[in-house]
Amino acid sequence: MKYSRRHGITVERPVSFWIEKERLNSRIVDCLTVILRTKGCSWRKCLMCGFSREFAEEAGEKELKKQLDYALSHKKPDVLKIFTSGSFFDNREVPVEFRKYTYRKIEELGISKLIVESRPEYVFNCDCLNMNFDVEVGIGLETSNDFIRENCVNKGFKFSDYVKAAEFLTKNSINVRTYLLLKPPFLSEKEAIYDCLKSIEMCEKYSNTISINPVYVPKKTYLEKLWKAKLYRPPWLWSVIEVLRRSVKITESDIICDPVGAGSNRASHNCGACDKPVAKAIKDFSLYQDVGILEDLSCECIDMWEKYKEYEHIARFDFVSYYLK
Ligand SMILES: [Zn+2]
């Protein structure tokens, strides 16, 4: 077994992999999600990215093949989701030969769909056009607002870059999954809800699926410093519910949300008592796309959330009309 000297971890095993349920053409099927340990994201400057620690310079074509084979030896799924710490179509991070190997494997195993992620600038390297399986490419747009993306996330690209990448994929019959953050740092709860809904409105015509990601606070990030200093609270789960409920009136694209770590202080959470059922409703809504699932939720903490939103908003100057036009 080969170990990375820098991190003391093997580069022949993925960071992690698991089986989950995924929606595929209105059916619920098994999806294998694999997080590959690559050379790492070429950008690596986002304020809340915890993946920037999960890289290994030694991870080349041979090591990536071993990582993928290892995950696939556990389960032959209907959908294969491959995440890296950066971009699947970045040739420096994911060698072209490894990508071709992945496509051959998918055809051999009869997997129906591949889901990967990429920053917009690498999307044009996409080499899985006209395959015998469906492809969906996730782009972490995070917000349609260039000011917030630049100053609160430090993402390093513009909305117009996302639009060009999404249009290229759509023209080539590849599905677009747009990732949006709910509550980047420096936004109040109310501003975050507004920003997320505005972003859904702006990106829906470029997206087959929109994935809402309530912000999680990973270790050793700039965001963690803010959080430890009590300058950041991850979004309330009630805010997630509000965004999902209102989203169905804005778009017919599938809206999905998997609130990572829901209920913990580092993740989206409510009062503690209602976190589990509310998080379950969010996951069920994502699978079945039935807004009725979000209707009968209640807890005493809803009042607290309403007050939190209002008082926090009163305490700030009018950010929305200034920056969120
Ligand atoms: Zn509660």
Tens of pLDDT, residues 118-149:
999 999 999 999 999 999 999 999 999 999 99
Average model confidence (pLDDT) across the chain = 92
C-alpha 275 to ligand 1 mean position (Å):
7
C-alpha 264 to ligand 1 mean position (Å):
13
Q: Is the pLDDT of residue 91 over 60?
A: yes
Residues 28-46 pLDDT 10s: 999 999 999 999 988 888 8
Q: Which two tokens stand for residue 279?
A: 């998080």
C-alpha 191 to ligand 1 mean position (Å):
21
- pLDDT at position 61 is 95
Average pLDDT, integer, range 80-97: 96
Give the pLDDT band of residue 6 (cuts 50, 70, 90).
very low
Q: Which contacts of 70-73 are long-range, i.e. CB under 8 A and separated by 24 or more positions?
A: 70/12, 70/13, 70/14, 71/14, 71/17, 71/32, 71/34, 72/32, 72/105, 72/109
Give the pLDDT band of residue 164 (cuts 50, 70, 90).
very high
C-alpha 195 to ligand 1 mean position (Å):
24
Residue spans of the domains in the chain: they are: 16-323
C-alpha 22 to ligand 1 mean position (Å):
28
C-alpha 198 to ligand 1 mean position (Å):
27
Q: Burial level of 70, CB count in 10 A (0-12/13-18/19+)?
A: middle
Is 152 within 8 Å of 47 (Cβ atoms)?
Answer: yes
C-alpha 302 to ligand 1 mean position (Å):
7
Q: Is the pLDDT of residue 197 over 90?
A: yes
C-alpha 304 to ligand 1 mean position (Å):
9
C-alpha 201 to ligand 1 mean position (Å):
29
Report the top-level CATH class of 16-323.
alpha beta
C-alpha 294 to ligand 1 mean position (Å):
15
C-alpha 309 to ligand 1 mean position (Å):
15
- pLDDT at position 2 is 42
- H helices of 111-236, in order, are 146-148, 159-171, 189-203, 222-228
Residues 48-61 pLDDT 10s: 888 766 788 889 99
- Using DSSP's 3-state secondary structure scheme, residue 183 falls into coil
Q: Which of 266, 291, 263 is nearest to 277 (CA)?
A: 263
C-alpha 300 to ligand 1 mean position (Å):
6
C-alpha 273 to ligand 1 mean position (Å):
5
- pLDDT at position 313 is 84
